[in-house]
Amino acid sequence: MNNIFNAELLDGALKIAFVVAAFFNLVYIFIVSRQINLMKKTLITGFSSSVSLLGLINLLLALAVFVGFLLFL
Amino acid sequence: MTDQNKHHARRNVEDYSEVMKNEKSTNNFFRTFISKPKNIHLDIQNKDEKIILVLRQHLITQLKSFLFLCMIILLIPILLNFSGFIETFPDKFIGAFYIFWIVLTFGLFTRTFLIWFFNVYIITDERIIDVDFASMIYHNISYAKIENIEDVTARTTGPLAAIFNYGTILIQTAGEKTEFEFGNVPQPAKVTKLISELLLEEEKEKIEGRVN
């Protein structure tokens, strides 16, 4: 009984820790993508569209991880 | 000379700069020394202003932060594995940890690359511009007119800088921001020579009344 309780507690605590970490990562990546927009407006190069894509991939990955942790952990 | 003639009398940089005479125009915007770029523009660029040189920190100076990043990224999972700490986690959390770690790594590499890519020092035929994205949440753009430059110093320190020919250029100006620092840029001697040629041309323009 005690072991089951401990395992559930550990599971819950780990889930909260993972979700919180993924949330902070998502917020950070969101700030990064906003900054990318500012960067490519400041310095205009032929690479601008690829930079946006890089930011978008990062954002989608961070979002997928956050949602995945929230739903499946 | 009419105002319009004065306006168009600014000479091409190859006409007065020995440095730029020998440099080819490049379209590769990943380089650290980009002379006469064709496809790089600034939002604060004036209509007739031409970008002569774009500088970034020498790639070798990024090696330290790149290696540090690699070490952290590899070391933490290895340590967790060897210590057996990660095995105390339920299986689903071990998988989640590795997925999160990969996403975090991708984000960190992107951030490091972007800060290097957008942190540029630009020399135009009118101004020197320092575009400073020191972190992802801080940015600063400062510029000074060429005519306000008072003193230019190139400093090369350390064996790596000597081998790979990079250094820091300190530019004293009479403007609002009194000192510009072009940190760890390639070919500092060439850059200082170019700035002095631009200064000389600016003085000539004033004397000859070509540009106000």
Ordered by start, the domain boundaries in chain A are 2-72
3-state secondary structure of B168: strand
Contact yes or no for B39 and A32 at CB 8 A: no
What's the complex ipTM? Answer: 0.87
Could you tell me if B53 and B66 lie in one domain? no
Domain end: B44, B79, B114, which one?
B114
Could you tell me if B52 and B124 lie in one domain? yes
Could you tell me if B137 and B39 lie in one domain? yes
Could you tell me if B158 and B194 lie in one domain? yes
Could you tell me if B103 and B127 lie in one domain? no
Q: Is some CB atom of chain B closer than 8 A to the CB atom of A71?
A: no
Could you tell me if B137 and B159 lie in one domain? yes
Q: What is the mean pLDDT of residues B31-44?
A: 91
pLDDT number for residue B1 = 44
**CA separation for the pair B3, B7 (Å, rounded):** 6
Query: Which stretch of DSSP H or E encloses residue B150?
Result: strand B149-155
Residue among A7, A9, A3, A53 at smallest CA distance from A33: A53
pLDDT number for residue A73 = 84
pLDDT number for residue B3 = 45
CATH number at residue B190: 2.30.29
Could you tell me if B31 and B133 lie in one domain? yes
B9 has a pLDDT exceeding 90: no
pLDDT number for residue B2 = 46
**CA separation for the pair B138, A34 (Å, rounded):** 12
* pLDDT tens per residue across span B12-34: 888 899 999 989 888 788 899 99
Please tell me which residue, B50 or A8, carries the higher pLDDT value: B50
Please tell me which residue, B186 or B12, carries the higher pLDDT value: B186
pLDDT number for residue B133 = 83
Total of domains in chain B: 2
Name the B residues in 80-109 with CB < 8 Å from any A CB: 89-90, 92-93, 96-97, 99-100, 103-104, 106-107
* pLDDT tens per residue across span A5-33: 677 888 899 999 999 999 999 999 998 88
Q: What is the mean pLDDT of residues A52-62?
A: 93
Domain end: B114, B135, B155, which one?
B114
Query: What share of chain B in percent tops pLDDT 90?
Result: 51
Domain extent at residue B123: 3-57+119-208
Report CA dihedral (B101, B102, B104, B110) to the nearest 10 degrees.
160
